[in-house]
Structure 1
C-alpha cells in the first residue's frame, strides 16, 4: 500500500532555519492569534473572515471548471511556484510544513482529516492572494475508475493536468522543479514526475469506497488508531499517481495532491452532512488515538490551532462549499462538461478518454474526447493518428544518433508520423520521424536523431520531445551500463567530442551512410553479429517499462546470411621502414586454392579503405555458399612480379606471429581463421568495428593477415 516515509531530515533543517519572513507569511494564513488560543484553550474561537473574502468560494470538480476558472487556477499555482520568500518558493513552504517533523499529527491517526482541512484552507488562501476569488478544485477519481485504462483519462493531457507518464513535460505544470529528490528512485529526479497507473496492482478510489466512507455512523468508525481505513483508502490514489505523490512527505510537490485531498475533504464533508448534527460535527471524535499528537486537544502543529479546531463548522460556513457533479439520467442523458460522458449502462458521468486511449467496451458511447471509438481505440477517422503530416527536411552539418520509440508492452512503435523534436541551445529545432521501412541492422521503431556536430572543447546540450502518432508525450529512458537496464532520464543529451562524466554515453556518427551501423558489433564472425539497443529510448505508453523486453528488440534482429557468390575481408599491407617498395603502385592478388580458375587482382590504390590506408579489401568465394570452407593465397605484386613480403597472422588482440600468406574462411566461427567478412560492399569501411557507446570508446579488431613489404 502507501509507503510510510520516515526520512524527515529536510524538514528538520527547515524548522531550525525558518526565517522571520517565512514565519510571518505562514502565520498570516491562519488569521487567528496565538494569544486567543492560550487564553481560551478549550473554547472554539471563531476565525475572523478576511476582508477580501465577501463570500465563500465554491469548490468544483476539476473537469467542471470553466476555461477562465481553470486559467485563473493555473495562474495562481504557477505564481506560488515562482515567488520566493528568502530563497524558498511559496509553494515549497507549503510542501515543507507537510513533512512529518513539521506536522507530527498529520498522518496515521484521527487528526488526519482536520489537519488536512486546515492545510488546504491555508493553501487556498495563498492562491486567492494571487488571483482573488479562485477556488481549489477537487479531483473525483471515481470518474476515472471504471474506464478500460484510467491512465488514458482526458485528465492527463496537455489541456488539463499534463502528461502522467514520467517527467511532467506538458500542461500548466510542465518542467516544475521540486524541493527535494524523488524518494525511492534509483536515479536522481528533481523535476515533477508521475507514473499514473504504471503498476497493474494499483487502483483509484471506487464508488464502493465512497459508499463505505459516507455511510459510517460516527467519527470513530471513520478513522481511528488501529483501523485507519479512510486514510488508507485515500492512499490508493496517491500510489496510483506515483512519482512524488507516492511518498507522504513530498506529495505536495504535485498539484494533483491538493485536488486529491480536496476530494478527500469533500467525502468527509458528505459524511458530516449525512451522519452528524452541527453539534456532533464539532464534538464527535475518535476514542482510540494511540499517540498524543492525535488527541482532541493536542496542538495541530505547526499551526497555532488544536486538532479540535479542524472540526469547526466555520470552514464550510464561511470559507468554502462543494459543488457536486450532476450525473446523467434518462431524462438528461448528458454531462455538464466536454470532459465527461454519460455511461448509460449505469447512468453515471465518467471521464472521457484521450486520443489514442483504450475505449474497449464503449464503442457506442461518447467516451472519446474529440475522437471516436474505433476497434477499441480512440481515433480520428481516415488518419494514421492525430492527423499530423509527415514533412521531412534534409539535415546537414549534423551527427546522427539512433533511438527507438515504443508503444504498449514495450513493442516497437511503427507509425511513420511518430516523431522526435530536437532543440539545441540556440533555440533551433529539427523534426525527425520513425523510419517507415528498416533493413538490417536497423530495428523496428527506429528514429535517427540529428544532433549538433560536437567541436573540440565545446559541448552541446540538446533537449528532446517525443510524441507518438496520437500526439501523446513519450517518456525517455537511458541505458545504465552499471546495472544493465533502462532507467528514467530527462529527455536531454550532452554531446562532447571527448567523453567525460557529464557527457551522454551514446553512439553517433557524421556519416549519413554509416549511421545504420551505430550500436552494432561488426568485430565478430557474420554469424555472430549483434545489434545493441540505443542509449536512449522513448516509451509512448503509461506503464512501467520492461528493460529485458526493450533489449530483446535488438537481440531479435538477426543478420540475413547472404548467398551471393563472393565476400570481402581485410588484410593489412604495410611498408617496412627501410623498404624501397612503392606500395601505391603495387597490386594485390587472391588465388583460390580449391579452384585455380578463380583469381582476383586489384591495384592496392583502388582496394584501400577510405579511412585507413594500411587496410586493403580483398575478395574470396562465400563460405556460406561453399560450405566446406574457402582457402585463398594472397600475394602482393609490383610490375607483374610477386614481392617477398613478410606475413604475420593476428593470434589475439595484440599478438602477431609469422605465418603463411593463406587465409581460410568458414561458415562456422570456430573454424574460420579470418572472422570478419561481409558480402555487402556497404559494410566494408566499418568491418572490425564495435560501435557501442561514445565514438572515442569504439574498438577495432585487427585483420587476420598482415603484409610487411
Structure 2
C-alpha cells in the first residue's frame, strides 16, 4: 500500500469515521484544520451553501446539522481519542440541510442526488430472505469493498502510542477501513504511563448500540457510493433458537474445517484480517501494509465449551422486557439495563446475573476471528450479526419511544451523551444515535425466523 506522508511532530489529523486523506497533509496537521474543499472548490462547499468551516467541533443532530460547543476532556487519560476529534482539529466543516460528509460533498444518511433532495429508506433483510441472485450481489459488493482502496480515507498505524513520531497514515481498502474503525475504538485507553483495558469507546457502556449502528451506516453508505447502487442494504442474521450456525455453509458465509480455516470454495476464503496477528496495547495496527502478514479469517462455531448454543427466541423476548436503556454504573456490571443485557454481560431472564449472553454469546459461539474483539469486524459475519443486534435495538426504541433524552449521563470515557461518537466524523453526539433507524435512511424487514 502507498505510504502517506507525515510523521507527526505536533499531532495527527482526523476523520469522518477515520482519517480523511485530504486532512493528513502537513498544512492540515499544523493548522489543526479539516475544512476541505467541497464540490464547488470552496472550503466545505461554502460558496454553494452546502456548509461552512467552523471553529471547534461541529456535530450531527439528526435530521438537522448544527454546531456544538462540546468541551471537556478527561484529565486522567492521555489518549488521542478522548475529546474526539479535538485532539486533532480545531476547525471542521458544519454541513447545512441534507448535506453531509467531512467536506459537505456528500448527502446526509438517507438522502441522494446532486442536491441531496431525494429521500430513500432502504430495507435490511434477513440473509435467508434474499434470493440466490440477491445474495450473490451482496457477496460481490462486499468483495469489491474488500479489494478497492478507499479514495477518501486512510488508517492510522503506530509502533508506540506514547511517541507521536511513530504515527503514520497508510492506505486501506473500504472494508478494511470499516474493520479498522472497530479496532481503533476498542484499543485500551492510554494513560500517561500505562493502559487502561477496562474501558473502550465502543463497548461496556451506553454508547455500545449507537456506536455499532453508526459503523454499519458508514459501511452501507460507502458500498452505495462505490457501486452506484442506492438501493443496497446490508443483510442481517437472525440467529434466534438455532441449534447451530445455519449460514456457516458455502451457500452463505462459508463452512470451516476443524482448525477454523474457511473452505477454499467459500465466498470469503481468501479474506485476511487487517490489524491481526500482533495485538500490542502500546501500538495501533502494526500489521496493516502487507497483506501476507495478516491472518486469514477463521471460524469455529460451537466449539467453545463455555458457550455451546446461540441465543434463544425467549432470550430476545426477555431482553426487550427491560425498559430502562442503561443504569449506573453504566458498564458491564449494570443490572436491569437493556443496553447491558443486549450487549451480553447480564442474563436476559432476570437482568441481574452475570453471564455471557446475546451479543457476546454470538461472538464467542462463532469463535475464530469473531471471538477476538479488536479484529472481529474483519469477518463479514460481524456485519450480519450486528445488523440483527441493531434490529433488536430498533425494536426497543419503537417499544419504549427511545430518543436522545433517554441516553444517560455517565462517566465512561468517550461515552457521555454530548461526547462525539469515537472515531466518527463529522461528530455525532452519542445520544443522537438513540433514535429511529429511518432517520438514518434504513429500516428492517419483519422476518419471523424458523
TM-score (structure 2 length as normaliser): 0.59
Correspondence list, 1:81-480, <5 A: 81-85=146-150, 87-101=171-185, 104-131=200-227, 132=229, 133-144=231-242, 147=243, 150-151=244-245, 153=246, 155-165=247-257, 166-169=260-263, 170-182=265-277, 190-202=295-307, 203-220=309-326, 224-225=330-331, 226-227=333-334, 228-232=340-344, 233-276=358-401, 280-287=402-409, 289-303=410-424, 304-313=427-436, 315-317=437-439, 319-326=441-448, 349=450
* CA distance in 2 between partners of 1:163 and 1:109 (Å): 33
Contact 1:167 1:175 in 2 (8 A): no
Quote how far apart the aligned CAs of 1:105 are.
Answer: 2.0
Correspondence list, 1:560-571, <5 A: none
TM-score (structure 1 length as normaliser): 0.38
Cα deviation 1:592-624 (Å, max 9, x = unaligned): xxxxxxxxxxxxxxxxxxxxxxxxxxxxxxxxx
* CA distance in 2 between partners of 1:180 and 1:322 (Å): 31
Of 37, 44, 51, the match for 2:112: 51
Residue-pair matches, total: 300
Contact 2:123 2:444 in 1 (8 A): yes
Quote how far apart the aligned CAs of 1:54 are.
Answer: 4.5
Whether 1:37 and 2:59 are equivalent positions in the alignment is yes
* CA distance in 2 between partners of 1:310 and 1:180 (Å): 27
Question: Given the superposition, is the C-alpha separation of residues 112 and 176 from structure 1 closer, same or farther in structure 2, using an over 3 Å criterion?
Answer: same
Quote how far apart the aligned CAs of 1:274 are.
Answer: 1.2
Question: Given the superposition, is the C-alpha separation of residues 82 and 307 from structure 1 closer, same or farther in structure 2, using an over 3 Å criterion?
Answer: same
- Give unmatched runs, 5+ long, in structure 2: 1-10, 25-33, 39-49, 61-65, 71-94, 99-107, 151-169, 188-199, 280-292, 335-339, 345-357
* CA distance in 1 between partners of 2:253 and 2:439 (Å): 30
* CA distance in 1 between partners of 2:67 and 2:414 (Å): 20
Contact 2:202 2:211 in 1 (8 A): yes
* CA distance in 2 between partners of 1:297 and 1:171 (Å): 43
Quote how far apart the aligned CAs of 1:96 are.
Answer: 1.1
Contact 1:223 1:229 in 2 (8 A): no
The structure richer in strand per residue is 1
Contact 1:196 1:242 in 2 (8 A): yes
In structure 2, the partner of 1:522 is none
- Give unmatched runs, 5+ long, in structure 1: 1-11, 328-348, 350-709
* CA distance in 2 between partners of 1:296 and 1:34 (Å): 24
Quote how far apart the aligned CAs of 1:64 are.
Answer: 0.9
Question: Given the superposition, is the C-alpha separation of residues 298 and 317 from structure 1 closer, same or farther in structure 2, using an over 3 Å criterion?
Answer: closer
Of 131, 134, 140, the match for 1:69: 134
Question: Given the superposition, is the C-alpha separation of residues 60 and 249 from structure 1 closer, same or farther in structure 2, using an over 3 Å criterion?
Answer: same
* CA distance in 1 between partners of 2:392 and 2:423 (Å): 25
* CA distance in 2 between partners of 1:269 and 1:322 (Å): 9
* CA distance in 2 between partners of 1:177 and 1:22 (Å): 28
Cα deviation 1:1-33 (Å, max 9, x = unaligned): xxxxxxxxxxx9997995725879x999xx998
* CA distance in 2 between partners of 1:208 and 1:323 (Å): 20
Greater C-alpha Rg = 1
* CA distance in 2 between partners of 1:27 and 1:128 (Å): 22
In structure 1, the partner of 2:21 is 20
SS in structure 1 of the partner of residue 144 of structure 2: helix
SS in structure 1 of the partner of residue 443 of structure 2: strand
Cα deviation 1:322-366 (Å, max 9, x = unaligned): 102145xxxxxxxxxxxxxxxxxxxxx1xxxxxxxxxxxxxxxxx
* CA distance in 2 between partners of 1:300 and 1:210 (Å): 26
Contact 2:14 2:23 in 1 (8 A): no
Quote how far apart the aligned CAs of 1:223 are.
Answer: 9.7
* CA distance in 1 between partners of 2:20 and 2:399 (Å): 44
